Amino acid sequence: MNKEKIIIDSTSTSFLSIKEIIRYKSLLNNLARRDFLVRYKQAFVGILWALIKPLINILVFGYIATKINSTVNAANNFVFVAAAMLLWQLFANVFNDVSNSILGNSNLFSKVYFPKIIIPISSILVCLVDFIISLVILIVLFFITGQEIRWQFILAPFFIFQTLINGLGLGLYFATINVKYRDIKFIVPVLLQLGLYITPVIFPTEFYFNRLPDLLKFIYALNPMLSAIDGFKYAILGTSIHYDMLYFYISTFCSLIFLFIGIKYFYKFERNFVDYI
């Protein structure tokens, strides 16, 4: 048993500590397990729901893409949309779940102390499991359309990780505001709806860049999901990037900025959450 001396005073603040997260790994594990088990309990097709929603989205948006973007053949259009859509859905789930996670679990941390960052991290884990299940769709489409297995596959986890970071960064920021202003739970779905249309999910990034003046291109590249999706499509399907790589780097850089801001903001108010709930 460790005899650690603990001091609590008015000035001490905590900050992201990997050591502490590791110490609470059983809590992390159990919270994620709970959310996952509860989600599909008493549902007839159970875990299949993790497939149905993205499948419908892919079918609808794949069809739209085929109708509008005739430069690519129909089968490829479906694979491109599937790759982008699954990653987008991962981002959307993480963003949404993280921003509701703190308020949704206020009954826990208003009764017991533990590092609150555990809660959003556990919601990421649940989203990640859903994502892995939904990858089945991509794998099936991948082989149906006769794609080849390439060495760039090893890059894919990096872009999945970037997607998680994007969702976490933005989610933490909104989760913090959500503690005081309950409007957030209505704002997030609206933002995600908008985001789906302006992010290169249905159409390739060039489709947007060709229609934008330079200044707007720069603003467009501030979207951290742009590089994640294009990178993922490159890793899985080998779609090369036909625009200035600068925009790709801007977007990647934004991921880190958003994560930093999200964590910073979260830890600024984290200690006082209980007083606002």
Contact positions vs another protein (CB under 8 A): 1-10, 12, 24, 26-27, 29-31, 33-34, 37-38, 41-42, 107-114, 180-183, 271-272, 274-275
Task: Kindly report each contact of residues 231-234 with a partner whose C-beta sits within 8 Å and lies 24 or more positions away, as own/partner.
Answer: 231/155, 231/158, 231/159, 231/162, 232/83, 232/84, 232/87, 232/156, 232/159, 232/160, 232/163, 233/80, 233/83, 233/84, 234/152, 234/155
Minimum distance, C-beta of residue 269 to another protein, in the bound complex (Å): 11
Residue closer to another protein, measured from CB, 7 or 149? 7
Minimum distance, C-beta of residue 78 to another protein, in the bound complex (Å): 37
Is residue 4 helix, strand or coil? Answer: coil
Minimum distance, C-beta of residue 160 to another protein, in the bound complex (Å): 27
Residues 26/118, Cβ–Cβ less than 8 Å? no
Minimum distance, C-beta of residue 187 to another protein, in the bound complex (Å): 9
Return the number of other C-beta atoms located less than 10 Å from residue 260's C-beta.
11
Residue closer to another protein, measured from CB, 170 or 225? 170
Residue closer to another protein, measured from CB, 37 or 74? 37
Q: Which amino acid is at 174?
A: F
Residue closer to another protein, measured from CB, 46 or 157? 46
Residue closer to another protein, measured from CB, 156 or 184? 184
Minimum distance, C-beta of residue 262 to another protein, in the bound complex (Å): 19
**Can you say whether the dihedral through the CA atoms of 41, 43, 45, 51 is positive or negative?**
negative
Minimum distance, C-beta of residue 125 to another protein, in the bound complex (Å): 14
CA distance 219 to 150: 33
Minimum distance, C-beta of residue 189 to another protein, in the bound complex (Å): 16
Residue closer to another protein, measured from CB, 27 or 75? 27
DSSP 147: P
Residue closer to another protein, measured from CB, 116 or 233? 116
Residues 121/29, Cβ–Cβ less than 8 Å? no
CA distance 215 to 213: 6
- With a CB cutoff of 8 Å and minimum separation 6, the contacts of 227 are 159, 162, 248, 249, 251, 252, 255
Choose among 244, 80, 257: nearest CA to 88.
Answer: 80
Minimum distance, C-beta of residue 265 to another protein, in the bound complex (Å): 16
CA distance 154 to 131: 17
Residue closer to another protein, measured from CB, 119 or 235? 119
